[in-house]
């Protein structure tokens, strides 16, 4: 018999929820939010909509047991990346104990398992020693605006579990990021008289060379025990209009991953200063555009949510050792901006997220659902 969390995941996969930022045809999260809302209302749960963008709402699902001073938050995002070249992205497909589909692991498996946990706990709320809140958020794949809007509500929360692909490991630390664009400014001219112009692409070569030859190697001198060293990737480059015109502009977009202990605002300031000093006298006219700043996660091991998660993992024969990962999640905002001790936990691997063949192990979806249920049932009670 199929576990109900897997059945929920199948339904979630069938509903497109592509973030419109990455795809002009992306429908957003409204249809999937309607499915979740109707399902949770049938279970007797309180559901509130919070508009983040027109037609794109967070869902806040509550199971109140009279213990607002011991509230546990489950959070998972509803949006996915674009379908890309994925075959039948909206058709749940089983192969070798794997379930394929867009969003299967990032992060509809977590969302489905959390919905299951809320439904199960709603059957016997008298057995809980905490209030339960599930935030199904929008826009995680772009700028975390859904989670940021949720935090503006200032709902008292003691601990949080963010659903992402962790291969069933308890993530207490992950990297943050500083994303920025660099624009070089030249002068257009006919390519037959190139000396009359100023090639913006040639200017950008000097910027990229400094990033790859000076800035990137220096990152290896810093390290975090769970997350490793910071990293930098020049992800896009655009320049020029046509082959016989000296290009007057060139732009790159850079993804700089920072480690726990680093502040994204300070790192961005240092990048501006470092590039400015390095390009002095090099004939490079450039500007830097800040795109996104995101905090790293660094949750103390002795936090209540970490200790309860370790206890539940022990019961389920999963590893109870806290780990770190190189990618980011909504958890870092909860911890850094609201001081809510937060972990990341869920089925699947980041290696499958956003890929042409996105899948999640079926058994891990079931295990995650049981983990969330047991955590909710134990939170607020003395540790065994």
The residues pairing with 236 across neighbouring beta strands, listed in sequence order, are 253
Pull the structure tokens for residue 69: 């001073």
Task: Give the CATH class of 4-174+296-378.
Answer: alpha beta
Q: Which of the following CATH numbers is that of domain 176-293: 3.30.70.360, 3.40.50.2300, 1.10.132.20, 3.40.1190.20?
A: 3.30.70.360
Question: Would you kindly state where each structural domain of the chain is located, as residue ranges?
Answer: 4-174+296-378, 176-293
Which residues, including other chains, have CB under 8 Å from residue 220's CB and lie 6 or more apart? 229
Give tens-digit pLDDT for 248-300. 999 999 999 999 999 999 999 999 999 999 999 999 999 999 999 999 999 99
Is the pTM above the cut of 0.75? Answer: yes
Per-residue pLDDT, 1: 82
Per-residue pLDDT, 24: 63
Pull the structure tokens for residue 205: 């070569």
Per-residue pLDDT, 26: 74
4-174+296-378 shares its CATH topology with 176-293: no
For the chain, 384 residues long, the average pLDDT of each consecutive 10-residue run is: 95 96 81 98 98 96 96 97 92 96 96 98 96 97 94 97 98 98 98 97 98 97 97 98 97 98 97 98 97 96 98 97 95 96 97 93 98 97 87
Within 10 angstroms of residue 123's Cβ, the number of other Cβ atoms is 9
Residue 157, Cα to own-chain centre: how many angstroms?
Answer: 20
Burial of 67: CB neighbours in 10 Å, binned 0-12, 13-18, 19+: middle
Mean per-residue pLDDT of the chain: 96
């Amino acid at each position: 018999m199929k576990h109900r969390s897997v059945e929920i995941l199948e339904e979630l996969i069938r509903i497109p929820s592509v973030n419109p930022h990455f795809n002009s045809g992306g429908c957003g999260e409204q249809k999937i939010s309607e499915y979740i809302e109707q399902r949770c209302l049938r279970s007797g749960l309180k559901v509130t909509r919070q508009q983040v963008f027109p037609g794109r709402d967070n869902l806040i699902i509550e199971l109140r047991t009279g213990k607002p001073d011991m509230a546990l938050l489950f959070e998972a995002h509803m949006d996915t990346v674009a379908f890309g070249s994925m075959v039948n992205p909206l058709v749940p497909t089983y192969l070798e104990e794997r379930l394929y589909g867009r969003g299967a692991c990032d992060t509809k498996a977590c969302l489905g398992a959390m919905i299951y946990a809320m439904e199960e706990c709603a059957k016997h709320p008298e057995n809980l020693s905490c209030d339960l809140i599930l935030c199904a958020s929008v826009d995680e794949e772009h700028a975390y605006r859904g989670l940021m809007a949720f935090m503006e509500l200032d709902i008292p929360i003691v601990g949080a579990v963010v659903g992402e692909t962790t291969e069933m490991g308890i993530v207490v630390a992950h990297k943050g990021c500083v994303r920025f664009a660099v624009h070089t400014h030249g002068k257009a001219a006919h390519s037959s008289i190139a000396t009359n112009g100023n090639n913006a692409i040639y200017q950008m070569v000097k910027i990229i060379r400094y990033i790859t030859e000076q800035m990137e190697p220096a990152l290896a001198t810093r390290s975090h025990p769970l997350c490793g060293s910071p990293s930098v990737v020049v992800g896009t480059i655009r320049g020029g209009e046509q082959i016989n015109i000296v290009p007057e502009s060139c732009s790159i977009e850079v993804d700089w991953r920072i480690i726990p202990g680093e502040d994204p605002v300070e790192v961005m300031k240092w990048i501006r200063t470092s590039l400015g000093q390095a390009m002095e006298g090099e004939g490079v006219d450039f500007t830097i555009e800040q795109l996104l700043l995101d905090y790293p996660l660094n949750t103390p091991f002795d936090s209540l949510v970490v200790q309860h998660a370790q206890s539940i993992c022990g019961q389920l024969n999963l590893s109870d050792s806290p780990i770190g990962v190189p990618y980011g999640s909504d958890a870092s905002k909860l911890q850094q901006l609201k001081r809510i001790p937060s972990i990341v936990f869920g089925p699947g691997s980041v290696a499958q997220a956003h890929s042409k063949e996105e899948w999640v192990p079926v058994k891990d979806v079931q295990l995650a659902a049981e983990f969330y249920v047991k955590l909710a049932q134990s939170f607020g009670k003395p540790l065994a």
